[in-house]
Structure 1
Amino acid sequence: MRAFRAGLLVGCLLVGLCPPVEADPAPSSRDVKKAREAVRERSGELSRTTAELATARSRLDQLAAEVERLVEAYNGEVVRLGQAERAHAQARVRLTAAEAEVERARQDVALVATESYAGLGLTNPIVGMMTDRGGADGFLHRASVLEHLGGERSAILGRMRDAQEVATILRTQAGNAYAAQQEAAERARQARLAAEAAVAAQRRDTEELMTREQTLRRRVEAARGHAKSLARQREAALVAGGSAMGDLAANWALTQLGKPYVWAADGPETYDCSGLSMRAWERVGVRLDHWTGTQWTSGPHVPLDQLRRGDLLFFAHVTGDPSTIHHVGIYVGQDQMVHAPQTGDVVRVASIWRGDLVGATRPR
């Protein structure tokens, strides 16, 4: 029964000998480096785009302010155009009154001519003055005609002349002022339209940059996530590789069960404690000295609640003083270790829980 139990325990402890399920190859350090370089490149592109976006937004603000200025300028021209329209309408009223005055004066002149020059032909200067509508060749340049008239008649003709001059001036001023204001309003409208078009174009550019920035930000986050994932996978693979090495060391040590303890022996037929642990880790490519003193410092110290197969367990005369270590065993799982105990004994499995247990080391 005891032999059966021992065989069962060894069988359980040898589970590490079973080949692992084949897994995808772990990412290499080069893969991780390339992924991190991709993060840096995309972050740089994102930074450049963010700077461009800030410039575009600033430009958009400037253009929007300019549009507001031009819109207000246009509004001012529209107001002035309205004023010009009203002034033009008032000028037309005055022009109509002036033209009526011209007509009344013309009638008075006609009456004078009728009274004073009855029967004159149409070629007479007085008749020409009555029918003249102005112009370079009109009656205004025939001042000599006034010499034929005296007193009241001269005053009537002067009134007609003044009325025609006033009408001409009002007609010219009204037309010119209104036309000038229409041109100013049109220029303001065109400037406003051009500014609004510039704002619309800048807004499109800004929105495109915003979309690009959002896309790049997602790409950077994706690249960072990918790099972190590769780094975690590699770290896990390294840890798993270490675990595999520990499994192999523990499994090999279990194949040495029953071989006698001999002081300072390191195999292949006899062992002392540090000779067995040295040869076990040698099987997985880790070189250890044949001495518990340096084996204790051959790797990181491991808390006893985080032991993995292959870890080395150390025992000392004074548990608080590693310099008094005198024994080492190899952890094989289930709170058990394989070790070469002492003279007269053989390599065997035993519990790790002894009063002189100091701690554990994971060789590297």
Structure 2
Amino acid sequence: MRAFRAGLAACCLVVTLCPPAEAERAPSPREVKKARQVARERSRTLGVVTARLATAQSRLDGLAAEAERLVEAYNGEVVRLRQAELSYAQARERLAAADAEVERARQAVGLLAAQAYGGLGLMTPVVGMLVDQGDREGALHRASMLAQLWNERAAVLGRMHDTQQVAAILRTQAANAYAAQQVASERAEEARKAAEAAVARQRRDTRQLRVRTEELSRRVDAARSRAQRLARRRAHALSALATGGSAPGDMVADWALTQLGKPYVWAAAGPNTYDCSGLTMRAWEKAGVRLDHWTGTQWTSGPHVPLDQLKRGDLLFFGHVSDDPGTIHHVGIYVGRDQMVHAPQTGDVVRVSSIWRGDLVGATRPR
């Protein structure tokens, strides 16, 4: 009797400390339907945002191409501006030469004016020659000299006028060319700045959409995982009712499926975060089997199972060298149909994945 009472007290203590897991309650058809509806709604939202992201990315590509074109246009204007500056400098040199020529012509004209100021000017010596010499032949010669002097004077005046015209034309052309190129360069610079600002805004919008898409994708995965988890729990619960019980491995696999979506955290063992061996330790704990929080001893926690004889709840181990258990670095829980539940890595969540990886070492059935 005393032993019976002690056993009864122990049973009560186990029930108190380890209440029935959520996996033991079969979700209702309504819960499964609602979970699937949530997954569909989130998928639709994700589709809309994904389409917006694609449109934004396309617009960003177009803006980037346009900005690049405008930047190159600006670069071209800068090159042409440098050429215009060089041409302007050369024109100024030519203008300086023309101005010097104008000054020389002006001095020659000034000399003529000074000579003319005395009255007859250039004609004074000529008149003297005409008065002093009375022969006809000498008069003709002196008349010829007078005409030549007048022609030289006209040439000096004409050369000054021409140099002044050339200088004015060069001055106008150089100033106009430089001013026009300066305006073109300023327009190109403004267009470049506007294009780069548009690209910056579009990159910001695209980045926000990408973040939103990633967030929605995670929520969709979580919703789908929950719907699948509820459906599997219901199917298994109904099967268990039909067969009258459940094997420890089924309990392990079913409980592991209730943890989908919880974040991976290094060295964590629940209840809200896990690493790989922390998840497997807690799962087998639900079936009454105590494991260490380490893949090294979990690998030796029971008989090794051929991969063609896997059962739900078996532990699958992965290493850097597929035939060397000493390289094991990851573990997962087999849940059937070549799938496992595992806590993959930092930044990821507990999820269902295929067991067939290149670093698969083998399987263990704890006991």
The alignment's TM-score, normalised by the length of structure 2, stands at: 0.50
Matching residue's letter, 1:236: H
CA distance in 2, matches of 1:232, 1:66: 53
The offset of 1:119, in angstroms, is: 8.2
Q: Which amino acid aligns with 1:44?
A: R
CA distance in 2, matches of 1:162, 1:82: 31
Per-residue CA deviation, residues 292-330 of structure 1 (Å, 9 max, x unaligned), is xxxxxxxxxxxxxxxxxxxxxxxxxxxxxxxxxxxxxxx
| Structure 1 residue ranges without an equivalent (≥5) | 1-18, 121-148, 246-364
Write the mapping of 1:168-179 to structure 2, written as runs, cut at 5 A.
Answer: 168-179=168-179
> Taking structure 1 as reference, are residues 22 and 236 closer, same or farther at Cα in structure 2, changes over 3 Å only?
same
Distance 1:194 1:237 in 2: 64
State the distance in 2 between where 1:211 and 1:23 align.
36
Q: What residue is the counterpart of 1:192 in the other structure?
A: 192
Give the letter aligned to residue 104 of structure 1.
R
Stretches (4+) displaced over 3 A: 21-26, 239-245
- Higher Cα Rg, which structure: 1
**In structure 2, distance between residues paired with 1:40 and 1:176:** 68
1:334-345 equivalence runs, <5 A = none
Secondary structure in 1 matching 2:27: coil
Cα separation, 2, equivalents of 1:206 and 1:119 = 90
Query: Residue 117 of structure 1: CA displacement?
Result: 1.3
SS in 1 for 2:103: helix
Identity among equivalent pairs (%)? 65
Alpha-carbon offset, residue 82 of structure 1 = 1.0
- 2:100 counterpart of 1:93: no
- Note the 1:261-300 alignment, pairs <5 A: none
Query: Which is worse superposed, 193-202 or 170-179?
Result: 193-202
Separation in 1, partners of 2:53, 2:21: 46
SS at match of 1:27: coil
Q: Given the two structures, how large is their TM-score scaled by the length of structure 1?
A: 0.51
User: Once structures 1 and 2 are overlaid, which stretch shifts more, 71-80 or 103-112?
Assistant: 71-80
Q: What residue identity is the alignment partner of 2:232?
A: R
- Closer, same or farther in 2 for the Cα pair 1:119/1:200, shift >3 Å? farther
What residue is the counterpart of 2:235 in the other structure?
235
Taking the aligned partners of 2:217 and 2:21, their CA distance within structure 1 comes to 33
Give, in angstroms, the shift of residue 189 of structure 1: 1.3
SS at match of 2:38: helix
Instruction: Indicate the residue corresponding to 1:50 in structure 2.
Output: 50
- The Cα of 1:27 is off from its aligned counterpart by 2.2
| C-alpha deviation, 1:169, in angstroms | 0.9
Q: Give the residue type in structure 2 aligned to 1:184.
A: A
* Structure 1 residue aligned with 2:40: 40
AA partner of residue 92 (structure 1): R
Q: What amino acid does structure 1 have at the position aligned with 2:155?
A: A
Show structure 2 runs of 5+ residues with no match: 1-14, 121-148, 246-367
State the partner residue of 2:76: 76
Q: Which amino acid letter does the alignment assign opposite residue 83 of structure 2?
A: Q
The one-letter amino acid paired with 2:75 is N
- The equivalent of 1:219 in structure 2 is 219
- Give a deviation string over 1:138-167, Cα, whole Å, max 9, x none: xxxxxxxxxxx9422221111111111111
1:237 Cα deviation after fit? 3.1
Q: What residue in structure 1 maps to residue 293 of structure 2? A: none
Q: What is the distance in 1 between the residues matched to 2:242 and 2:20?
A: 17
**Residue in structure 2 matched with residue 31 of structure 1 by the alignment:** 31
Worse overlay, 24-33 or 71-80: 24-33
Paired position in structure 2 for 1:117: 117
**Could you tell me how far apart the structure 2 residues matched to 1:68 and 1:192 are?**
8
For 2:90, the aligned partner's letter is Q
Change (3 A) 1:80 1:93: same
Q: Deviations over 1:259-304 (max 9, x none)?
A: xxxxxxxxxxxxxxxxxxxxxxxxxxxxxxxxxxxxxxxxxxxxxx
In the TM superposition, 1:316-327 aligns within 5 A as none
Q: 1:187 to 1:228 in 2, by over 3 A?
A: same
RMSD: 2.5
> C-alpha displacement at 1:22, in angstroms?
6.0
* Cα 1:23/1:192, change in 2 over 3 Å: closer
**CA shift for structure 1 position 109:** 0.7
Name the residue aligned to 1:161: 161
Which SS does the other structure have where 1:156 is aligned?
helix
**What CA distance in whole angstroms lies between the structure 2 residues aligned with 1:49 and 1:119?**
99
